């Protein structure tokens, strides 16, 4: 049973199933597939398969990495007579960057050349990286996330779930700026803020797209921005009169129609009033401090534009684990690119005769056999 | 008035067609030399366009599907030159040139305007992410072409050799795909606040990775020649869908590509 759980056969079945499920998400509802029990079960099985496979292979791998010439496995075949001389074998090892060990048994000397230990380790490092990424992904699910819209100069209570997970109580936005490159194109948006706990300020910083604020398990991302208009609205009813932060480009209802506010340059706003049928009946431009008398005795006083920043607050420790897995996966990828593993045992008889044993696969084995002038008759060419 | 930019953009397509025609007869030395010359010119033209676009943009041209395809064309022309000398199989050169021609024709159909980069794209991760994607796709394209030849021939020493090459190229392509996924995820975490959003491009990039991982595991299990070649062809179909299909049919966070 354990053999099957750690087998490549099961790995193949699970990889194919995961691929099939991911494809099926294109046809069916994406969220349903990836949060469904069958998908999570397959990921769980994949984790177990990878873990048992990695654990079962470790002792053999360690032995293979530590061994000397006399430990070459039987499968590597018997020593075969070579036409190469000791000098040419040594030159070959040096040219192809083999690490060489020498040993002696009676009159017979042995050379053991190995290279590609890192590529040999690479698939196992990649497996370990995937295991860490899966663990990190599970941990990420315990994290919390929330969005805030805060105008420049305002202070707001942080969303409840962030407050519960951290010591934070409030966030104040000190400034929000659009940054431009030398060509005048938008380069980034920057929000400078201060964080408050129950006893006062606990930190400050800034966040930009691609450069989030990160401290401990807390991350603050610059997600977007928008504009509102700070106005004082006076009607004959005390209930509807008061200060408002109206959004841009949205219909605000009136008794006989509606109005829409739009930005005009950096400061001014455009007031557009429509009747019930959607016909524009009035259009006025207002600077901050200016006001308008509306129908039915209503009045609108424009105070100032309110640029608000959209921030995403995230708290959790899963990302660190996932990133550790990512770093390991990238490392394994580079290790895979470093070539292929090969070990060569060379027996040097006192008569000067040279015999060679190979532990390599595929074309690498053929190439070694050719270079070391042996007629390789073993069947480890796969 | 001649539109020089458009004219220059047609060069990779014309040169890919010329390489395919000369490559068809590349068993002969003269035709092989001609195919090599056209492939070298194709590479120089693709690289030249990229340099011009880079100068216009003031950074490495990597932010659109058009730029990505131009990089692919340039690298595939290099592979064609290499294979002309190394494999000496006209069919491989013809198929690879056809792949470049299709890509170059698609490039022609795209808007050539140089647009300013969105703030989310202004990240050092862009270069590593896109270049690793481009390199993996180019390597996997060549591997696909070799597998296509394998499935059309009887198994012999040549198919054995092609199979080994196709395998080695996947062995190179998968780590590059891994780097692409990893760097993309890290970048997404910094830009969008989430290392994985199940965006369609992400899902299909994962499917691509899984199919090639399957290929490598099945090779350990003994799959060779035609069996492995069919799976490799399926892998490439997924690559094509991830690049073109997802962009056209399943828009998401990567829809600017």
DSSP B181-211: HHHHHHHHHHHHS-S----HHHHHHHHHHHH
Q: Are residues B198 and B128 part of one domain?
A: yes
Alpha-carbon gap, residue A64 to A359, rounded angstroms: 11
The pLDDT of B98-122, averaged and rounded, is: 93
Nearest to A111 by CA among A119, A121, A101, A120: A101
* Residue bearing tokens 């050169």: B93
Alpha-carbon gap, residue A325 to B186, rounded angstroms: 11
Q: Are residues B92 and B131 part of one domain?
A: no
For residue A70, the model assigns a pLDDT of 62
- Evaluate whether B214 touches B164 at the Cβ level (below 8 Å): no
Distance from CA of B48 to the nearest CA of A (A): 24
* b/e sequence A19-49, b meaning 16+ C-beta within 10 Å: bebbbebbeeebeebbeeeebeebbebbbeb
Q: B68, B83, B117: which is the final residue of a domain?
A: B117
The backbone torsions φ and ψ at residue B79, rounded to the nearest 5 degrees and listed phi first, read -60, -40
- Confirm or reject contact between B73 and chain A (CB < 8 A): no
Residue A272 buriedness (CB in 10 A; 0-12 / 13-18 / 19+): middle
| Cβ neighbour number for residue A201 with a 10 Å cutoff | 11
- How far from chain centre, in Å, is Cα B221? 28
For residue A26, the model assigns a pLDDT of 87
pLDDT in tens, B58-104: 899 998 999 999 999 999 999 999 999 998 899 999 999 999 999 99
pLDDT at position A76 over 70: no
pTM of structure: 0.88
Q: Are residues B186 and B145 part of one domain?
A: yes
A-chain residues near B119 (CB < 8 A): 186-189, 209-210
Q: Are residues B198 and B213 part of one domain?
A: yes
Q: Are residues B93 and B153 part of one domain?
A: no
Q: B82, B117, B152: which is the final residue of a domain?
A: B117
pLDDT in tens, A20-56: 999 999 888 777 889 899 999 999 999 999 999 999 9
> Containing H/E element for B69?
helix B65-86
Distance in Å from the first CA to the final CA of chain A: 27
* Residue bearing tokens 């990775």: B209
Own/partner pairs, A203-206, CB within 8 angstroms, 24+ separation: A204/A174
What's the whole-number average pLDDT of chain B? 93
A256 versus B203: which is more confidently predicted? Answer: B203
Nearest to A15 among B116, B175, B213 (CB): B213
Domain count, chain B: 2
Q: Are residues B253 and B128 part of one domain?
A: yes
pLDDT at position A381 over 60: no
Binary contact (B198, A336; C-beta < 8 A)? no
Q: Are residues B38 and B153 part of one domain?
A: no
- Confirm or reject contact between A314 and chain B (CB < 8 A): yes
Q: Are residues B71 and B46 part of one domain?
A: yes
Nearest to B122 among A9, A188, A337 (CB): A188
Nearest to B195 by CA among A41, A280, A316, A285: A316
- Confirm or reject contact between A52 and chain B (CB < 8 A): no
pLDDT in tens, A187-218: 999 999 999 999 999 999 999 999 999 998 99
The range of the structural domain enclosing residue B220 comes to 121-257
Alpha-carbon gap, residue B138 to B230, rounded angstroms: 18
For residue A273, CA distances in Å to A228, A282, A345 come to 17, 5, 90
pLDDT at position B190 over 60: yes
For residue B60, the model assigns a pLDDT of 94
Kindly tell me the sign of the dihedral angle through the C-alpha atoms of B134, B135, B136, B138.
positive
In this structure, the dihedral spanned by the alpha carbons of residues B94, B97, B102 and B108, taken in order and rounded to 10 degrees, is -140
Q: Are residues B252 and B126 part of one domain?
A: yes
A-chain residues near B222 (CB < 8 A): 382
Residues 184-213 of A with CB under 8 A from B: 185-189, 209-212
pLDDT in tens, A169-184: 999 999 999 999 988 9
The pLDDT of B219-240, averaged and rounded, is: 95
pLDDT band for position A71 (cuts 50, 70, 90): low
- DSSP per-residue letters across A226-260: EEEEEEEEE-S-TTT-EEEEEETT--EEETTEEEE
- Evaluate whether B69 touches B108 at the Cβ level (below 8 Å): no
Q: Are residues B234 and B128 part of one domain?
A: yes
Q: Are residues B155 and B93 part of one domain?
A: no
Q: Give the highest mean pLDDT range of A227-236, A249-258, B149-158.
A: B149-158
pLDDT at position A128 over 80: yes
Residues 263-302 of A with CB under 8 A from B: none
DSSP at A342 = E
Q: Are residues B82 and B179 part of one domain?
A: no
Q: B102, B117, B132: which is the final residue of a domain?
A: B117
CATH assignment of the domain containing B93: 1.20.120
């Amino acid at each position: 049973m354990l053999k099957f759980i750690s087998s490549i056969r099961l790995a193949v079945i699970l990889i194919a199933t995961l691929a099939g499920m991911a494809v099926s998400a294109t046809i069916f509802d994406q969220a349903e597939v990836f949060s469904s029990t069958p998908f999570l079960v397959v990921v769980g099985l994949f984790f177990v398969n990878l873990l048992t496979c990695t654990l079962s292979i470790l002792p053999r791998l360690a032995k293979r990495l530590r061994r000397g010439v006399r430990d070459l496995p039987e499968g590597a075949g018997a020593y075969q007579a070579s036409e190469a001389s000791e000098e040419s074998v040594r030159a070959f090892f040096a040219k192809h960057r083999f690490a060489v060990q020498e040993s002696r048994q009676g009159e017979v000397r042995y050379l053991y050349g190995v290279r590609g230990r890192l590529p040999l380790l690479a698939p196992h490092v990649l497996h370990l990286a995937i295991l860490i990424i899966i663990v990190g992904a599970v941990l990420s699910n315990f994290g919390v996330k929330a969005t805030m819209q805060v105008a420049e100069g305002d202070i707001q209570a942080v969303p409840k779930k962030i407050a519960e997970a951290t010591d934070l109580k409030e966030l104040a936005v000190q400034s929000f700026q659009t940054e431009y490159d030398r060509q005048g194109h938008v380069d980034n948006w920057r929000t400078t803020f201060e964080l408050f706990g129950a006893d006062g300020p606990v930190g400050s910083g800034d966040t930009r797209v691609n450069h989030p604020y990160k401290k401990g398990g807390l991350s603050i991302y610059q997600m977007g921005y928008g504009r509102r208009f700070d106005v004082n609205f006076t009607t004959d009813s005390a209930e509807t009169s008061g200060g408002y932060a109206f959004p841009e480009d949205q219909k605000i209802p009136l008794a006989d129609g509606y109005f829409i506010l739009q930005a005009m340059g950096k400061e001014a706003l455009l007031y557009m009033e429509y009747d019930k049928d959607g016909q524009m009946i009035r259009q006025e431009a207002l600077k901050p401090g200016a006001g308008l008398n509306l129908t039915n005795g209503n009045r609108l006083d424009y105070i100032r534009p309110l640029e608000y920043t959209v921030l995403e607050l995230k708290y959790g420790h899963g990302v660190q684990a996932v990133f550790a897995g990512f770093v390991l996966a990238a490392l394994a990828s580079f290790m895979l690119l470093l070539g292929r593993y090969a070990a060569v045992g060379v027996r040097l008889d006192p008569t000067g005769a040279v015999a060679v044993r190979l532990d390599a696969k595929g074309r690498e084995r053929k190439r070694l056999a050719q270079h070391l002038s042996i007629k390789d008759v073993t069947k480890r060419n796969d | 008035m001649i539109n020089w930019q458009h004219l220059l953009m047609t060069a990779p397509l014309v040169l890919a067609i010329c390489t395919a025609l000369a490559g068809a007869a590349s068993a002969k030395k003269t035709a092989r030399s001609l195919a090599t010359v056209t492939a070298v010119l194709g590479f120089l033209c693709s690289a030249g366009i990229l340099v011009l676009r880079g100068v216009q943009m003031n950074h490495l041209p990597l932010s659109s599907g058009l730029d990505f395809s131009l990089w692919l064309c340039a690298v595939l022309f290099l592979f064609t030159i290499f294979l002309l000398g190394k494999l000496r199989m006209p069919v491989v050169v013809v198929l690879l040139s056809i792949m470049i021609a299709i890509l170059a024709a698609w490039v022609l159909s795209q808007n050539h305007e140089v647009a300013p980069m969105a703030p989310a794209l202004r990240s050092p991760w862009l270069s590593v992410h896109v270049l690793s994607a481009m390199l993996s796709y180019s390597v996997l394209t060549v591997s696909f072409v070799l597998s296509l030849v394998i499935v059309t021939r009887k198994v012999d020493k040549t198919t054995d050799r092609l199979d080994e090459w196709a395998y080695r190229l996947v062995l190179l392509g998968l780590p590059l795909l891994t780097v692409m996924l990893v760097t993309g995820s890290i970048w997404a975490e910094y830009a969008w606040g989430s290392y994985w959003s199940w965006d369609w491009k992400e899902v299909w990039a994962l499917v691509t990775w899984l199919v090639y991982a399957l290929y490598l595991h099945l090779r350990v299990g003994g799959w060779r020649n035609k069996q492995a070649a069919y799976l490799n062809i399926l892998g490439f179909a997924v690559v094509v869908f991830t690049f073109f299909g997802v962009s056209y049919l399943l828009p998401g966070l990567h829809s600017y590509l």
